[in-house]
């Protein structure tokens, strides 16, 4: 079942000679996750699968469940079932706050995260920093890609500004996404067996660059795009693209959530922020201050203690990340103080994420 040809195919989609699957099992890569199950790619085709029962147990750390990018061992059947998640070489994750606080895996086994920003009105160094802090600790390498240099002036200044701000050694490339020769500098991040994801705001040029990288394997627009009910186009299929350079690009709705956390204030706790606006003191610590709206809400049950704890946890985590990034940036600037890359408090600093 896992003959040399199969292994070759798997390597093309990023497999790195992890363990061979057990007798009677197949290997495939998770390319999408839906409510109804998973979509897998085996280097040749895409098919659906279900997680085995042990992945659905209550109390299982969600990070142990199959995620986009995973190489999984599957037991054939109708439908096939995912039995084992192979060890991950990188894990992109973020704090997810909902009913319970947890870490949410966004994608695994990604080698490079290409952070795409237009050199036009889209240009925003602070946002690029937020992306980088999300990639930090994942094991993946961030690469800053600036599109539309052909349409804008002052490109050199912007690159210089970024070099000052970003961690030393972060690759920065300005490329015209429409021009294959220009985009070819990215080939070093898309070598055979490597996996990359492309993130960036709407209009930054992700689709344009993807198509240029695909070259003659150019997708017909209808192939990639559909329209959802609101008329915005979204990627509907081909979650894993094998590039002529030998690498692959993963592009799934799950990855688009990376875009969300990178750019928007999550507003997960908008209710708490709204409550806090009513505290008597603007700098209320929500402890024993008189007139604290949070304590009041806790007291009369409007706010559950659990939700409040989750909020504090998430806030602390964000604060820690912000501080880490800040101290590193400061070191790089030779100890000069910097403006915090993102504010620690959600309620009074809408730039926080
Ligand atoms: N001149 C020039 N135009 C570009 C470049 N990159 C993208 N564009 C144009 O910018 C527009 C937006 O590009 P898209 O590729 O659709 O952007 P996207 O990031 O995929 O946007 P969403 O699909 O909304 O997420 C298109 O009109 C592209 O032709 C570039 O490097 N140079
Ligand atoms: Zn308060």
Give residue limits of the domains in the chain. Answer: 4-87, 108-263, 270-332
Q: Which CATH superfamily is domain 4-87 in?
A: Nucleic acid-binding proteins (2.40.50.140)
Position 267 pLDDT exceeds 60: no
Q: What is the mean pLDDT of residues 336-353?
A: 42
Q: Is the CB of 210 under 6 A from ligand 1?
A: no
Residue-level pLDDT at 313: 74
Residue-level pLDDT at 233: 37
For residue 24, count CB atoms less than 10 angstroms from its CB and return exposed for 0-12, middle for 13-18, buried for 19 or more.
Answer: exposed
Atom from ligand 1 closest to the CA of residue 259: 25
Q: What is the pLDDT of residues 25-37, one digit of tens each?
A: 899 999 888 888 9
Residue-level pLDDT at 340: 45
How much is the ipTM here? 0.95
* 322 alpha carbon – ligand 2 mean position (Å): 23
Mutate to test the pocket of ligand 1, among 121, 203, 225 (most ligand atoms within 8 A of CB): 203
β-strand 172-175 against 71-75: which pairing, if any?
A: unpaired
Which of the pair, 112 or 348, is modelled with greater confidence?
112
Q: What would the two tokens of residue 119 be?
A: 């050199």
Q: How far apart are CA 211 and CA 233, in angstroms?
A: 16
Q: What is the mean pLDDT of residues 88-96?
A: 82
Instruction: Locate all alpha helices (DSSP H) within 269-349, ordered by sequence.
Output: 270-276, 293-299, 305-332
- Inter-CA distances, 336 with 160, 161, 169, Å: 18, 16, 19
Whose tokens are 């993946």? That residue is: 140
Q: How far apart are CA 231 and CA 14, in angstroms?
A: 34
Q: Indicate the CATH number of 270-332 among 1.10.40.50, 3.75.10.20, 1.20.1250.20, 1.10.3720.10.
A: 1.10.40.50
* 202 alpha carbon – ligand 2 mean position (Å): 37
Confidence label for 109 from pLDDT (cuts 50, 70 and 90) = very high
Predicted model pTM: 0.71
Q: Which CATH superfamily is domain 108-263 in?
A: P-loop containing nucleotide triphosphate hydrolases (3.40.50.300)
How high is the mean pLDDT of the chain? 79
Whose tokens are 């079932």? That residue is: 81
Q: Is the CB of 173 under 6 A from ligand 1?
A: no
Annotated binding residue 233? no
Ligand nearest to the CA of 278: 2
* 36 alpha carbon – ligand 1 mean position (Å): 32
SS3 225: strand
Q: What is the mean pLDDT of residues 216-241?
A: 46
Q: Is the CB of 115 under 6 A from ligand 1?
A: no
Q: What is the pLDDT of residues 302-314, one digit of tens each?
A: 998 888 887 787 6
């Amino acid at each position: 079942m896992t003959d040399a040809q199969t292994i070759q195919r798997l390597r093309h989609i990023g497999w790195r000679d992890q363990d061979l699957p057990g007798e009677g099992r197949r290997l495939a890569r998770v390319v999408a996750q839906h409510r109804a199950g998973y979509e897998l790619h085996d280097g040749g085709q895409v098919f659906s699968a279900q997680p085995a029962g042990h992945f659905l147990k209550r109390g299982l750390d969600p990070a142990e469940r199959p995620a986009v990018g995973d190489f999984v061992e599957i037991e054939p059947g109708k439908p096939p079932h995912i039995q084992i998640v192979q060890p991950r070489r990188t894990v992109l994750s973020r704090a997810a706050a909902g009913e319970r606080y947890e870490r949410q895996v966004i994608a695994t086994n990604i080698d490079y995260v290409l952070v795409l920003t237009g050199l036009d009105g889209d240009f925003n160094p602070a946002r690029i920093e937020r992306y980088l802090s999300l990639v930090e600790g994942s094991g993946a390498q961030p690469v800053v890609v600036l599109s539309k240099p052909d349409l804008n002036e002052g490109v050199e200044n912007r690159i210089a500004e970024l070099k000052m701000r970003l961690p030393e050694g972060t690759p920065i490339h300005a490329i015209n996404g429409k021009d294959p020769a220009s985009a070819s500098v990215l080939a070093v991040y898309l070598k055979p067996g490597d996996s990359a994801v492309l993130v960036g705001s709407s209009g930054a040029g992700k689709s344009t660059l993807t198509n240029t990288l695909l070259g003659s394997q150019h997708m017909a627009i209808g192939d990639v795009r559909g329209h959802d009910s609101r008329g915005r186009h979204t990627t509907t299929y081909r979650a894993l693209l094998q590039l002529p350079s030998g690498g692959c690009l993963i592009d799934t709705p799950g990855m688009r959530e990376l875009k969300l956390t990178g750019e928007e204030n999550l507003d997960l706790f908008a209710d708490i922020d709204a409550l806090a606006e009513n505290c008597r003191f603007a700098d209320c610590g929500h402890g024993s201050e008189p007139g604290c709206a949070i304590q009041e809400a806790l007291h009369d049950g409007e706010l559950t203690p659990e939700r409040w704890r989750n909020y504090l946890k998430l806030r602390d985590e964000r604060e820690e990340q912000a501080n880490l990034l800040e101290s590193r940036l400061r070191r790089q600037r030779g100890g000069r103080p910097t403006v915090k890359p993102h504010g620690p408090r959600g309620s009074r600093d809408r730039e926080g994420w």
